[in-house]
A and B are shown apart, each in its own frame.
Chain A
Amino acid sequence: AQKVTQAQTEISVVEKEDVTLDCVYETRDTTYYLFWYKQPPSGELVFLIRRNSFDEQNEISGRYSWNFQKSTSSFNFTITASQVVDSAVYFCALSGSARQLTFGSGTQLTVLP
């Protein structure tokens, strides 16, 4: 069975602060994919990143960056210089050989002006 843990239920920051959302996963598969999704209040899921288990390079996309560490089974997400529009629920997810996505419980990020 696979599992994704997002220990931070809610985070509140002031605009322009940096914030890191934590994600820890468990899987027995040797090949797997990790994802981050954003869910704004409107409810749709916005895809942010996909990372396969063989690629441990960190990735940066604008104000977003991701740190994948297989040794600690973590896939953390950092937003630099946060903005009010970043306020949303962020989900980390894992897919393995069964191709089913397992989601973490989500982190509610609130960015205050």
Chain B
Amino acid sequence: SAVISQKPSRDICQRGTSLTIQCQVDSQVTMMFWYRQQPGQSLTLIATANQGSEATYESGFVIDKFPISRPNLTFSTLTVSNMSPEDSSIYLCSVFQGAGGYTFGSGTRLTVV
């Protein structure tokens, strides 16, 4: 299965700033996803990152707040913009590898102060 390198693993950021999270996959994958896990909560899908086109966002998530790039089939970034303490969460990327299989990055633990 694919191996995902997700960076940074954690960060503490000031409110009003932005953080970009990177996911690098060791093989080409068509579908990549970004999830948010707020403290004590389940994982919620933010968007599907599409190679060569705009990401597809889920209800409640907007491009201005969570811009996503997918320049090729092995890399994607998620930016959390104009952060507030409510953005403190774990952010995870995931790839779909066919036959129902998914691989997750190790997550980025974000704290906004």
Residue numbers of A with Cβ under 8 A of B are: 33, 35, 43-45, 47, 50, 52, 91, 95, 99-106
Residue numbers of B with Cβ under 8 A of A are: 31, 33, 41-45, 48, 90, 92, 94, 96, 100-102, 104, 106-107, 109
In the assembled complex, 9 residue pairs joining A and B whose CB atoms fall closer than 8 Å, in A order, are A33-B100, A45-B92, A45-B107, A47-B104, A50-B100, A52-B100, A100-B48, A105-B41, A106-B42
Contact check: which of A43, A95, A102, A106 meets B107 at CB < 8 Å? A43
The smallest beta-carbon distance between A9 and chain B, in angstroms, is: 10
Q: Which of A44, A52, A106 lies at the interface centre, i.e. has the most chain B CB atoms within 10 A of its CB?
A: A44
The smallest beta-carbon distance between A77 and chain B, in angstroms, is: 16
Contacts of A103 in B (CB 8 A): 42-44
Q: Are A100 and B100 in contact (CB under 8 A)?
A: no
Contact check: which of A35, A44, A52, A104 meets B42 at CB < 8 Å? A104
Q: Are A43 and B90 in contact (CB under 8 A)?
A: yes
Q: Are B43 and A91 in contact (CB under 8 A)?
A: yes
Q: Are B42 and A43 in contact (CB under 8 A)?
A: no
Contact check: which of B33, B41, B92, B104 meets A100 at CB < 8 Å? B33
Q: Are B92 and A105 in contact (CB under 8 A)?
A: no
The smallest beta-carbon distance between B6 and chain A, in angstroms, is: 10
The smallest beta-carbon distance between A100 and chain B, in angstroms, is: 6
Contacts of B101 in A (CB 8 A): 50
Contacts of A91 in B (CB 8 A): 42-43
Q: Are B31 and A99 in contact (CB under 8 A)?
A: yes
Contact check: which of A43, A101, A106 meets B33 at CB < 8 Å? A101
Contact check: which of B48, B100, B109 meets A43 at CB < 8 Å? B109
Q: Which of A91, A103, A105 lies at the interface centre, i.e. has the most chain B CB atoms within 10 A of its CB?
A: A103
